[in-house]
Amino acid sequence: MNNQSSPMEQDSASMIPKEFRNLTRRGVWTKETYGVCEGYVQANLAIIPNDCALEFLAFCLRNPQPCPVVDVTEPGSPHPVMMAPEADLRTDLPKYRIYRYGKLKEEVTDITPYWSDDLVSLLLGCSFTFEYLLRAADIPFRHTGAYLSGIRCVPAGRFSGPMVVSGWIFKGKQAVRAIKLTSRYPVAHGAPVHIGDPAAIGIRDIYHPEFWHPPWPITIEPDEVPVFWGCGITPQAVAMEVSLPLMITHAPAHMFITDRLAQELAVL
Amino acid sequence: MNNQSSPMEQDSASMIPKEFRNLTRRGVWTKETYGVCEGYVQANLAIIPNDCALEFLAFCLRNPQPCPVVDVTEPGSPHPVMMAPEADLRTDLPKYRIYRYGKLKEEVTDITPYWSDDLVSLLLGCSFTFEYLLRAADIPFRHTGAYLSGIRCVPAGRFSGPMVVSGWIFKGKQAVRAIKLTSRYPVAHGAPVHIGDPAAIGIRDIYHPEFWHPPWPITIEPDEVPVFWGCGITPQAVAMEVSLPLMITHAPAHMFITDRLAQELAVL
């Protein structure tokens, strides 16, 4: 992994969320948010029509490891009152994706033209927060990718499908620390769903992740163990299948930065 | 507190939830559920019309300490798939209350006649589980009652109001243990909302609880500290204010017994 960063990226790491969101609001920052506003919870965004919002929310609540709900707005409100009441979800993410009937139609940096009083926004915990927690605790890890697992999500109405999981490699002792640490943060996918043999949860080939392959080679040493967490790709993949007339999400890696510190939201 | 119990109550403590729910379903058990199926999560029930369900659910998610959502059904389904998929919420609680426009109309032991495809059921964590956890950990405590606090809940749409809190007295060292313990169980109100001076959270008089006074005298020794947790009376009090055409709840202390062990739902 590349530890070099430009001066602007160094600044963005120590920026406060309000300041950073002001950059995205004005269209100044349209890049990815990895490492931005270090320590603050980052979130996936899913905006859907009101008439399926309860169903989709129920799906997320039934599958809290891949889909940790950190906020839900009222229909038509762009303000996530729990996570950042002053933020505007229509402008404060660097990039969005517009889907119609499950098909990607556009990538935009402002969704105001698409907004209506009928839309409900969900914010879901994200693995950038997860990675931050591991780095802050000085737990060495390698990300191996995002996999289609054989674990079935608990369905809710029309929403159902397999769980997508993310794979991470640790030395045994560090795996224990990672499990203890992440268990304290349900907002960042919480405890892992599996440790060890990938086949036991229906992963076809750990070296060939279906959803995301890291830019580095995947290797596992004999003293290392793979650990799998629920992945935020799950709700998006599941929602896509339902083919909603409109769904708006963040563009991959272009997350919403909340006002809440991860530390603040630890359960213990 | 009275540690004596009848043979039937001793049996009910060691019954498995399915067995116990079968008694309530057949109308054999219509009493309170304190101490029933020890170790299993007990839950408050709130059944409301679909058109305000998302709003009420959002209210609960924004106020997880008084209103810990442990399950939500799809409209018309009486089966809480996360907590007890085989249960039927129309018959499996010992006693229910029927409210119309915020007024208590009836207490019944079966709500099948009131059921419609329009109804959504929420299960919310309950202090019986909380008390079980303290007893199982051998932490001595005294319950002082349920208070109107000055803490405002985070509103959601029409749902808003003050937080009701429950008061508990511990020796200092035991208070620390209680805080650590309960923090691990978000399903049972999680960590306390306050420790110490009741006035600091707007409690008028610790000796005169507004919502529930225990049958024993309230006393606080110099080496003891009051600790306050969010109370499950909150969502019910708030929902009452909205004056829904129909709301069905459990009768006080007549809870739903889930299939899930509290231990299973600990976050760490």
pTM of the model: 0.93
Q: Whose structure tokens read 């306390």?
A: B192
pLDDT band at A1 (very low <50, low <70, confident <90, very high): very low
Contact present, A250 and A108 (Cβ < 8 Å)? no
pLDDT band at B2 (very low <50, low <70, confident <90, very high): very low
For residue B183, give the nearest of A72, A186, A267 by CB distance.
A267
Nearest chain A alpha carbon to B266: A183
Percent of chain B at pLDDT exceeding 90:
94
Cα–Cα separations (whole angstroms), residue A103 to A116, A247, A248, B88? 20, 9, 11, 39
A75/B contact by beta carbon, under 8 A = yes
Contacts with B, A 114-133, CB within 8 Å: 120
For residue B74, give the nearest of A58, A73, A81 by CB distance.
A58
Residue-level pLDDT at B50: 97
A268–B183 CB contact, under 8 Å: yes
Kindly list the residues from chain B whose CB atom is less than 8 angstroms away from the CB atom of residue A54. Answer: 50, 53-54, 57, 75, 120
End-to-end Cα spacing for chain B: 31
B75–A53 CB contact, under 8 Å: no
* pLDDT per residue as tens digits for the range A66-120: 999 999 999 999 999 999 999 999 999 999 999 999 999 999 999 999 999 999 9
Looking at the DSSP bridge assignments, the partners of residue B104 are B99
B184–A268 CB contact, under 8 Å: yes
Neighbours of A241 (CB within 10 A): 12
Query: For A159, which DSSP code?
Result: B
Q: Is the pLDDT reported for residue A4 higher than 90?
A: no
> Distance from A55 to chain B by nearest Cα, in Å?
7
Kindly list the residues from chain B whose CB atom is less than 8 angstroms away from the CB atom of residue A71. Answer: 61
Residue A40 or residue A4, greater confidence: A40
Kindly list the residues from chain A whose CB atom is less than 8 angstroms away from the CB atom of residue B120. Answer: 54
Contacts with A, B 207-266, CB within 8 Å: none
A77/B contact by beta carbon, under 8 A = no
Neighbours of A137 (CB within 10 A): 13
pLDDT band at B1 (very low <50, low <70, confident <90, very high): very low
Kindly list the residues from chain A whose CB atom is less than 8 angstroms away from the CB atom of residue B190. Answer: 267
B181/A contact by beta carbon, under 8 A = no
